[in-house]
């Protein structure tokens, strides 16, 4: 079985570990490196897996997943310098760090060592993640297949070229946060209309679940499905008009452009 070292036991590291364990991966095949002692203890206790240093975790791992903040990537690369990495053993690095290009890793690793840039999202915690992967210059098809195989246990996986990864980060990496924000706003609106928060939450969550399931299963686009809800001169048309008047669509477009720029900026050497 593939041995996986997750460097960084923060939010996304935890989502990956939890999703992989839930999907049936054995605790003995997972190890986490986490520098913050309280967090390291929490992860070890919660998941019953080994939590150790970067060098110890990477030693003997087939897949080294870098799940630290972009500004901490160089520190991880320095720590990996203590490890005898071996590309002949099909060992490889998968970086989840937003914005950081594979070309930032490659010169600091043994010649030809493969690096894949990946952008997952937190719904992998419940097996419904969207992971996008992009190969660095030394990546072979077998490496991509291995990473696809691991990540497909926690959701969907697609491959793009690396120059699209900042856009991907803005859309699906950060995407769950936009969704939760819309949920918060709709629940607040329900409360302001006189519903209890509990009732408003139940209504909104099930409406989101049902609508997502329709999008997933139906041949129709979001535009067509929305049209089907919008009765002539009815409530939906009235509400959508107000949302458009208030710039919902252009707010999303501008927000995602800003997220893409921020991704690229975080990947620059001095972010």
Ligand X SMILES: O=C(O)[C@@H]1CCC=N1
91 binds ligand X (CB under 6 A): no
Minimum separation from the CB atom of position 119 to ligand X (A): 7
Interaction residues for ligand NDP, span 128-147 (CB under 6 A):
none
33 touches, from ligand X, ligand NDP, none (C-beta below 5 to 8 Å by class): ligand NDP
Return d(Cα 9, Cα 12) in angstroms, integer: 7
CA distances from residue 271 to 7, 137, 147 in whole angstroms, order as listed: 20, 24, 28
Query: Is the Cβ of residue 78 or residue 196 nearer to ligand NDP in the bound state?
Result: 78
Q: Give 182's contacts (C-beta < 8 A, 6+ positions apart).
A: none
68 binds ligand NDP (CB under 6 A): yes
173 binds ligand NDP (CB under 6 A): yes
Alpha-helical (H) ranges within the chain are: 11-22, 37-47, 54-58, 73-80, 102-105, 141-151, 165-168, 175-192, 197-217, 222-229, 235-245, 248-267
Tokens for 190, please give them.
Answer: 């329900």
Tell me which stretch binds ligand X (CB under 6 A): 53-61, 148-156, 169-177, 222-230.
169-177
> Is 70 annotated in some ligand binding site?
yes
Tell me which stretch binds ligand NDP (CB under 6 A): 117-125, 137-145, 149-157, 226-234.
117-125
Binding residues for NADP(+): 67-70
């Amino acid at each position: 079985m593939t041995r996986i070292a997750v460097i960084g036991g923060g939010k996304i590291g935890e989502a990956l570990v939890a999703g992989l364990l839930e999907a049936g991966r054995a605790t003995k095949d997972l190890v986490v490196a986490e520098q913050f002692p309280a967090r390291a203890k929490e992860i070890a206790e919660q998941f019953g897996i080994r939590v150790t240093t970067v060098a110890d975790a990477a030693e003997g791992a087939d897949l080294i997943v870098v799940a630290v903040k972009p500004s901490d990537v160089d520190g991880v690369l320095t720590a990996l310098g203590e490890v005898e990495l071996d590309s002949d053993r099909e060992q490889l690095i998968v970086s989840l760090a937003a914005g950081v290009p594979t070309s930032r890793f490659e010169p600091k690793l043994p010649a030809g060592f493969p690096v894949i840039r990946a952008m997952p999202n937190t719904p992998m915690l419940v097996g419904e993640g969207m992971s996008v992967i992009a190969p660095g210059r030394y990546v072979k098809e077998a490496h991509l297949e291995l990473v696809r195989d691991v990540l497909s246990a926690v959701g969907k996986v697609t491959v793009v070229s690396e120059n699209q990864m900042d856009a991907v980060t803005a859309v699906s990496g950060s995407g769950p946060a936009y969704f939760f924000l819309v949920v918060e706003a709709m629940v607040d609106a329900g409360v302001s209309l006189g519903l209890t928060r509990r009732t408003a939450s139940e209504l909104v969550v099930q409406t989101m679940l049902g609508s997502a399931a329709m999008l997933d299963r139906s041949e129709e686009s979001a535009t067509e499905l929305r049209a089907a809800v919008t009765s002539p001169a009815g409530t939906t048309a009235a509400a959508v008009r107000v949302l458009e008047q208030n710039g919902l669509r252009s707010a999303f477009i501008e927000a995602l452009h800003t997220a893409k720029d921020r991704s690229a900026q975080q990947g620059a050497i001095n972010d």
